[in-house]
Structure 1
Amino acid sequence: MQHDIAWEDPETTRAKTEPMIAEAAGAGARLIVLPEMFATGFSMQPELIAEDEGGPTEQFLVQQAAEHAAHLVGSVAQRGEDGRYRNNAVLARPDGSVTRYAKIHPFSFAGEHERYAAGSDFVTVDVEGLRVSLFVCYDLRFADEFWALAATTDLYLVPANWPRPRHEHWRALLRARAIENQAYVLGVNRIGAAADLPHDGGSALIDPLGATVFEADTAAAVHTGDVEADVVQQTRTTFPFLADRRA
């Protein structure tokens, strides 16, 4: 799901995304992914936008997952039990359970590291037999984090707020992470401007050989594509490059 975001206005943005989620589910999507900080924008004012874990935006994802019998993922600014703010990728399941991944690499170029605590733990979950690893935006630049999970990953998810000036980096890195780990990579970017910084979308699903399953343009839209664990296994059997990787 590629969409614009009402700046620091989660209620408005949640309302805008609801029909898009229904559209995705209606098209048969079993895993629906939204951008980074999809309800508020990439705000460096967590004291204004962050919610407690289990707060309204997380509950929105849970409710939508249950309503559409699908898994939903989106990044949310949240306050943990320790009182620290984190940029969490939240995966909501149809049964109401959630898994959270805290962004390991806060974006220091924008001062995110000064406002949000860095995560420390990798997260890989099972989604209907598909092994799915969660990352967020800036994590995409750090190949070693993806390498560490390659053996147990079929699909990497990367919700993002990746701006126009570095859009070609986004395109190249999505493909690099797919090729070098022989896994699918789904990058979901926002559109629209935030603090006069434009975002051009370009959400894309890349297969284990680096081929493009789909690549969005700059418009708000729902895109769907098939991800198959068997394709990952077949690719790795035919081209057993991962076995030659040195620790």
Structure 2
Amino acid sequence: MGAVRIAAVQHDIVWEDRDANFARLAPQVARAVGAGAELVLLTETFSTGFSMTPGIGEPEGGPSAQFLAGQAAEHGVWVGGTCPEIADGQQLPYNSFVLAGPDGTVHRYRKLHPFTHAGEHERFRAGEGPVTLDVGGLRITPFVCYDLRFADVFWTAAPATDVYLVPANWPSPRRLHWQTLLQARAIENQAYVVGCNRVGTAGDGTEHAGDSRIVSPMGELLATAAGVETIVLADVDAAEVTATRDRLRFIPDRRGS
């Protein structure tokens, strides 16, 4: 146990049109499953684009979460991505990562760091803390896009994490930051990192170059993508994380660990 084949679906997004995105993404999920994926990762705000439009939020367990759950049930795999979800009677939504399992299980992580540079903090609520999930013996900690810039939350979660999932709508002008930080988070935490970024142009004109990738605990690029719709796929194994950390005991030398 602890070995899982993960696919990151690098896809374009139809702006603020959930049904159009569900129709486009269903066959891409099917292709990933056909390639042996046991966990399929979609991007941040996979069903709407990174929209700040008032009213873009949907109820927790709304159409986007239902799409993920339906795909998970149909294919017998785990399927995840983020969507704007309103919870706890609040007016503003969370940027919520939803991971749906084949048995009907649903896990949530709420993005900790709203992207203030684009005003996300004015339209979305911040989450409260990291969440670590068990999928087939693999310990998974999801973060979302801008969270990638904050090493401290990755460090805090590291002892209980085998793989970090990072769905994103990361813009092209800062693509080097995306590539470098994904690799850095893997190296410094001796864990796998799966970065799943969108391609195409958002409704606000923002360009995205993709650059999705799966990085090993030693920082090796196991799978990478260019700027088109595609799927990156790799087998990740908890035993490899354990072996890397046993061989190179860096994490215990962190202050406070």
CA distance in 2, matches of 1:137, 1:82: 25
Opposite residue 233 of structure 1, the aligned amino acid is T
Aligned with 1:61 (options 61, 68, 93): 68
How do 1:171-182 residues align onto structure 2 when only pairs under 5 Å count? 171-182=179-190
Match of residue 224 from structure 1: 233
Asked which structure has the greater RCO (Cα within 8 Å, sep 6+), the reply is 2
Contact 2:41 2:80 in 1 (8 A): yes
Match of residue 207 from structure 2: 198
Match of residue 22 from structure 1: 30
Aligned with 1:156 (options 154, 164, 184): 164
Deviations 1:155-209 (A, max 9, x none): 0000000000000000000000000000000000000001221100000000000
1:215 CA drift (Å): 0.9
Contact 1:88 1:100 in 2 (8 A): yes
Match of residue 80 from structure 1: 87
The DSSP-based 3-state class of the residue aligned with 1:232 is helix
Opposite residue 64 of structure 1, the aligned amino acid is Q
CA distance in 2, matches of 1:33, 1:184: 14
**Is 1:118 the equivalent of 2:126?**
yes
Q: Please give the TM-score of this superposition, normalised by the length of structure 2.
A: 0.94
CA distance in 1, matches of 2:69, 2:50: 22
CA distance in 1, matches of 2:232, 2:120: 29
Match of residue 246 from structure 2: 237
Match of residue 9 from structure 1: 17
Contact 2:10 2:229 in 1 (8 A): yes
The DSSP-based 3-state class of the residue aligned with 2:44 is coil
Opposite residue 32 of structure 2, the aligned amino acid is A
Structure 1: stretches of 5+ with no match in the other structure? none
Contact 2:40 2:77 in 1 (8 A): yes
Opposite residue 94 of structure 2, the aligned amino acid is R
The DSSP-based 3-state class of the residue aligned with 2:187 is helix
Opposite residue 233 of structure 2, the aligned amino acid is T
Contact 2:168 2:197 in 1 (8 A): yes
How do 1:27-38 residues align onto structure 2 when only pairs under 5 Å count? 27-38=35-46
Deviations 1:111-151 (A, max 9, x none): 00011000012100000000000110000000000000100
Aligned with 2:220 (options 187, 211, 216): 211
The DSSP-based 3-state class of the residue aligned with 2:235 is coil
Structure 2: stretches of 5+ with no match in the other structure? 1-8
CA distance in 1, matches of 2:135, 2:53: 33
How do 1:127-146 residues align onto structure 2 when only pairs under 5 Å count? 127-146=135-154
Runs of 4+ in 1 over 3 A off after TM superposition: none
Equivalent residues, number: 246
